[in-house]
Amino acid sequence: MTPLKGNLIFGQSGGPTSVINASAAGVFLEALDHPDIIPGVFGMHHGIEGVLKDDLFDISGEDRRELDFLCGTPSSILGTCRYKLANPDADDGDYEKILAILRKYDIRYFFYNGGNDSMDTCSKVSRYLQSNHYDCRVIGIPKTVDNDLFGTDHCPGYGSSARYIATSIAEVWQDTHSYTTPMAVVFECMGRHAGWLAGASALAGVIGCGPDLLYLPEVPFDPDRMVRDARKILGQKNVVLISVSEGIMTADGRLVAEQLSSRRADAFGHKQLGGTAALLADLLASELGVKVRGIEFSLLQRSAAHCASGIDIEEAFLAGRTGVKAAISGASGVMMGYARPDQGPYRCDIIHVPLDVVANREKNFPLEWINKEGNGVTRDFIDYAFPLIQGEPHQVHEQGLPRFARLKKIPAGQGIQKEKTLSPSK
Amino acid sequence: MTPLKGNLIFGQSGGPTSVINASAAGVFLEALDHPDIIPGVFGMHHGIEGVLKDDLFDISGEDRRELDFLCGTPSSILGTCRYKLANPDADDGDYEKILAILRKYDIRYFFYNGGNDSMDTCSKVSRYLQSNHYDCRVIGIPKTVDNDLFGTDHCPGYGSSARYIATSIAEVWQDTHSYTTPMAVVFECMGRHAGWLAGASALAGVIGCGPDLLYLPEVPFDPDRMVRDARKILGQKNVVLISVSEGIMTADGRLVAEQLSSRRADAFGHKQLGGTAALLADLLASELGVKVRGIEFSLLQRSAAHCASGIDIEEAFLAGRTGVKAAISGASGVMMGYARPDQGPYRCDIIHVPLDVVANREKNFPLEWINKEGNGVTRDFIDYAFPLIQGEPHQVHEQGLPRFARLKKIPAGQGIQKEKTLSPSK
């Protein structure tokens, strides 16, 4: 088939990761290699909101060298959003605006990088454009540190957060095991509904520096049970390291974090938010009388590009680059997913997953990967996650600090590529 | 002079750092290069407590390759302690034990690596041995992430924590600035009495990703003032990043952390500890109605060897190695301090600082390096600290995780070096 000629637009959505910009680099650099098919490349300023506001960047005018630096730059360089499009059957106002902008800039390649909601946005846009007979290839690029995206073996961003968590816990293991005084440390990892990130704590166990206890949101959390487990460990050694997911809930279905939030007020009389690790550390201090530390990885775990997984960066880049190649070849309405062989050494293959299959579904943490005591993970999980944290980060340092990409962020329509990229609206 | 022949002992004391083991490597590797003068090298298991309990390791039996790995291994490989020796005039029981052990193992070189208290220990041991006419060279090696050790330009460990804090804040800056929703983030750095570590947050500003507001313990902290400062920033942009020292106190001399501790109870009715960042984040949430995050660097900031400063590692190693050379040449009763030239490019020279000058004194953060608004640091501080975060970490990775040193930790007297290192007691 003759390739569809027209411009490409790319947007980032949802919570940032250490490697979402690597996918951006993959899309941009590949697209810029096909000026005959894709004369202009645009970026959405704050995702779909940028399209609705006609607030776009002209990527064609950026230096290639700076685009390369994206692979070591965390977060969403174009800006992100959490905007949820209405159902087009109920209200197609947003879609009319989107189509008008696509026509205005002659966009024929629509790329959206995000999680469940973003794939839903992508899916809705794809169906609307089809039903309005506007020829445009719509491609979803996965992203989420939570690793809960359906239809893919794993998600770009997860491996890097997993590597950061495992490395940090191993280093704190070294720190806490240098004392003779008994101590309990509670680590808090992201993951409201799925234990993928908290589970990654167990990877530190590969070098003998993992947590002793691990509590995932898939298993009802019992504070007394944790205290008993911790007391048992402290009967054998000086230190107990515990890692939990922010989403752990007691049997009554209430988040431990919410119980904290609803029952604690700070020194100035204001309501306290979050802090599951701090809460559980306090509990252990009073129940076991040991020194405690609560360590919440917070935003660090999704932005620590200095400790990213090389494999994760390469796969995130590949998802973007392969997406452009696939779209040029005619693919549309699909997400670039990851697959690995059932047997043999780890390998990551890019697969096409229909957007409506991905949208608004979650990939749960397999219950059979949680030990029967409900306080750890099995070897199967380690075998799954370990390949994903391999390889060194691609971050370049200048004078001891990260060298982040510096984009000109040229407003679309004002850039040096203006004449080239703006063809008359249809 | 003819060099003093006898064995060497080295101990680590106080809170660990990312590079205290690099000093150990410097001492061990240099000492092992002088078998004619120093036939045996020992390590104290948990600092001076290991001496008092005759619990020592025979380092002579370790693989050199593993000793090299110490430069990428955080915390105190030999184990640490916080034991404070009595005043020998009041009670010399401990000193008699120490002297007996030194005689038993024919120790003629006594090395102790730590902060203020450790230099006090070192100083007392030195004077006791002198007054008892036991010929032994006593050398102190500095260490503390707090950078508050007197008599040295800076302390081993500080540069690495500073680099980790600056890098992490720069990465979180990238994360938070990708949203359109207003947000306030409060970072909490170590430093009970001195603002050296919180000040290091400002190094992220060198690449335009630093905190907007910075509060050090040297200036009385006013919560309302912080809210006003933050509101002003949020009038200009979407995000305000605030970094504070754990030691900030209100004008009445009470730690903000203590106010939290004394007035908050957790969901299970227990007392809550620490959490200055969380407290201030809550305050900002309720006063400004913005999304907030409190991020406490906790133990991460002193154990993150994966983000250590190359300069810091090299200087820590140099302090240990130079200490051994100096002791062989006759130096005793001194700490290996750092000095830099007043003018010209940064250079680190090792100086000898008398132990009794260092002991139990603190190097304060210069008040003239705090801006007149009391919410930031001056260029002079940046010029001081920036050279200390240069250079890449020396951490080796295996399969995506840190390769920590694996010492055999051969008990002294049972090691393969036994015959060689144990000469008859005097």
> Residue A185: which CATH number?
3.40.50.460
Please check whether residue A381 is in contact with residue A387, taking contact to mean a CB–CB distance below 8 angstroms.
Answer: no
CA distance A98 to chain B (A): 20
Does residue A207 lie in a domain region?
yes
In chain B, what's the furthest Cα-to-Cα distance? 76
Rounded CA separation A189/B28 (Å): 38
Does residue B377 lie in a domain region?
no
Residue at a domain's end among A305, A325, A345: A305
Say if residue B207 is in the same domain as residue B343.
no
Residue at a domain's end among A305, A321, A337: A305
User: Hey, what amino acid is at A391?
Assistant: G
Q: Which of A267, A281, A399 lies nearest to residue B259, judging by beta carbons?
A: A267
Instruction: Say if the Cβ atoms of B401 and A391 lie within 8 Å.
Output: no
CA distance B348 to chain A (A): 17
Q: Could you tell me whether strands B41-44 and B7-12 are parallel, antiparallel, or unpaired per DSSP bridges?
A: parallel
Nearest to A275 by CA among B237, B227, B282, B72: B282
Please check whether residue B160 is in contact with residue B73, taking contact to mean a CB–CB distance below 8 angstroms.
Answer: no
Nearest to A204 by CA among A176, A183, A232: A176
Report the residue of chain A nearest B265, measured CA to CA.
A264
- Which of A243, A279, A282 should we substitute to test contact with B (largest number of B Cβ atoms within 10 Å)? A282
Instruction: Say if the Cβ atoms of B306 and A307 lie within 8 Å.
Output: yes
Does residue B422 lie in a domain region?
no
Report the residue of chain B nearest A160, measured CA to CA.
B400
Rounded CA separation A244/A378 (Å): 16
Average pLDDT over residues A293-322: 97
CA distance B278 to chain A (A): 8
Please check whether residue B141 is in contact with residue A268, taking contact to mean a CB–CB distance below 8 angstroms.
Answer: no
| Strand extents, DSSP E, B164-274 | 183-189, 213-215, 239-245
Please check whether residue A24 is in contact with residue A320, taking contact to mean a CB–CB distance below 8 angstroms.
Answer: yes
Tens place of pLDDT per residue across chain B (426 aa): 678 999 999 999 999 999 999 999 999 999 999 999 999 999 999 999 999 999 999 999 999 999 999 999 999 999 999 898 988 889 999 999 999 999 999 999 999 999 988 999 999 999 999 999 999 999 999 999 999 999 999 999 999 999 999 999 999 999 999 999 999 999 999 998 899 999 999 999 999 999 999 999 999 999 999 999 999 999 999 999 999 999 999 999 988 887 755 444 444 444 444 589 988 998 999 999 999 999 999 999 999 999 999 999 999 999 999 999 999 999 999 999 999 999 999 999 999 999 999 987 889 999 999 999 999 999 999 999 999 999 998 889 998 999 999 999 999 976 444 444 444 443
pLDDT attached to residue A135? 98
Say if residue A31 is in the same domain as residue A136.
yes
User: Hey, what amino acid is at A302?
Assistant: R
Say if residue B169 is in the same domain as residue B124.
no
Does residue A365 lie in a domain region?
no
Say if residue B317 is in the same domain as residue B285.
no
Nearest to A192 by CA among A241, A133, A145: A145
Does residue A345 lie in a domain region?
yes
Question: What sign does the CA torsion over A140, A142, A148, A152 have?
Answer: positive
Structure tokens at A273: 């938010």
Q: pLDDT of A65-92, one tens digit each?
A: 999 999 999 999 999 998 989 888 899 9
Domain, as residue range, for B289? 158-305
Does residue B385 lie in a domain region?
no
Rounded CA separation B314/B25 (Å): 11
Residues contacting B224, CB < 8 A, separation 6+: none
Instruction: Say if the Cβ atoms of A295 and B292 lie within 8 Å.
Output: no
Rounded CA separation A289/A227 (Å): 11
Residue at a domain's end among A261, A283, A305: A305
Nearest to B283 by CA among A268, A260, A276: A268
pLDDT over 50 at A418, yes or no: no
CA distance B67 to chain A (A): 16
Residues contacting A63, CB < 8 A, separation 6+: A408
Instruction: Say if the Cβ atoms of B178 and A391 lie within 8 Å.
Output: no
Instruction: Say if the Cβ atoms of B299 and A400 lie within 8 Å.
Output: no
Average pLDDT over residues A24-28: 98
pLDDT over 90 at A354, yes or no: yes
Q: pLDDT of B354-383, one tens digit each?
A: 999 998 788 999 999 999 999 999 999 999
Say if residue B162 is in the same domain as residue B272.
yes
Rounded CA separation B118/B13 (Å): 6
| CB contact A392 to B (< 8 Å) | yes
pLDDT attached to residue B258? 77
B204 interaction partners in chain A (CB closer than 8 Å): 401
Does residue A62 lie in a domain region?
yes
Distances (CA, A) of B379 to A8, A344, B107, B396: 45, 56, 47, 34
Say if residue A132 is in the same domain as residue A166.
no
Mean pLDDT of chain A: 92
Say if residue A111 is in the same domain as residue A205.
no
Does residue B104 lie in a domain region?
yes
Instruction: Say if the Cβ atoms of A264 and B259 lie within 8 Å.
Output: no
- Total tally of structural domains belonging to chain B: 2
Structure tokens at A361: 């579904």
DSSP bridge partners of B137: B109
Say if residue A246 is in the same domain as residue A139.
no
Report the residue of chain A nearest B295, measured CA to CA.
A298
| CB contact A298 to B (< 8 Å) | yes
| CB contact B182 to A (< 8 Å) | no
- The model's pTM is 0.95
B203 interaction partners in chain A (CB closer than 8 Å): 401
Say if residue A298 is in the same domain as residue A317.
no
| CB contact A313 to B (< 8 Å) | no
pLDDT attached to residue B259? 74
Instruction: Name the residues of B annotated as catalytic.
Output: 146
Say if residue B169 is in the same domain as residue B289.
yes
pLDDT over 60 at A195, yes or no: yes
Say if residue A340 is in the same domain as residue A209.
no
Say if residue B102 is in the same domain as residue B214.
no
Q: What was the ipTM of the complex prediction?
A: 0.94
Which CATH number belongs to the domain containing residue A86 in this structure?
3.40.50.450
Q: pLDDT of A361-410, one tens digit each?
A: 889 999 999 999 999 999 999 999 999 999 998 889 998 999 999 999 99
